[in-house]
């Protein structure tokens, strides 16, 4: 079974991400294939571009290459979701809300008939 792990890029490479993966395995068993967008080679450059620019003080650079540009490039994620049986979504660790990108992933999965689970955890 393939499970798409939907979570904001702000939680990539964190203890929260590790805990979410543990919970997915606990809930669905170890005999699953977790599709983690944090591991996609085809988005590493896009992710890194956003994260480095978000720390930039140059407002013009931020306006030119902002998070909305990243979110508009959702086809990379949609192509992966199409190959999954389930999408498991976790909210942003700091707010408890789903990010704009995760909301789009949820909506897309529901529209194509992929089962969606929304998980909430505390750290």
Residue 45: its pLDDT value, please?
52
Strand order in the sheet with 2-6: 33-35, 2-6, 86-89, 115-118
Q: Low-confidence residues of the chain, pLDDT below 50?
A: 49, 51-65
pTM, to two decimals = 0.76
Residue 116: its pLDDT value, please?
97
Residue 81: its pLDDT value, please?
95
Tens of pLDDT, residue by residue over 43-78, are 555 555 454 444 444 444 444 445 555 555 678 889
Q: Is residue 75 part of a domain?
A: yes
Name the residue range of residue 39's domain: 2-118
Q: Which residue's entry shows tokens 């939680």?
A: 11
Q: Is residue 29 part of a domain?
A: yes
Residue 30: its pLDDT value, please?
87
How far is the CA of 8 from the CAs of 32, 49, 75, 120, in angstroms? Answer: 21, 15, 16, 14
Q: Is residue 123 part of a domain?
A: no
Domain tally, the chain: 1
Residue 72: its pLDDT value, please?
56
CATH number of the structural domain spanning residue 38: 3.40.50
């Amino acid at each position: 079974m393939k499970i798409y792990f939907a979570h904001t890029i702000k939680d990539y490479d964190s203890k929260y991400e590790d805990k979410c993966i543990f919970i997915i395995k606990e809930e669905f068993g170890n005999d699953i294939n977790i599709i983690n967008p944090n591991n996609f080679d085809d988005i590493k450059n896009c992710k890194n571009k956003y994260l480095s620019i978000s720390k930039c003080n140059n407002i013009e650079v931020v306006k030119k290459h902002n998070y909305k540009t990243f979110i508009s490039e959702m086809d990379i994620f949609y192509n992966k979701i199409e190959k999954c049986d389930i999408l498991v979504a976790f909210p942003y660790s700091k707010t408890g809300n789903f990010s704009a990108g995760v909301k789009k992933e949820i909506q897309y999965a529901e529209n194509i008939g992929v089962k969606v689970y929304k998980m909430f955890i505390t750290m």
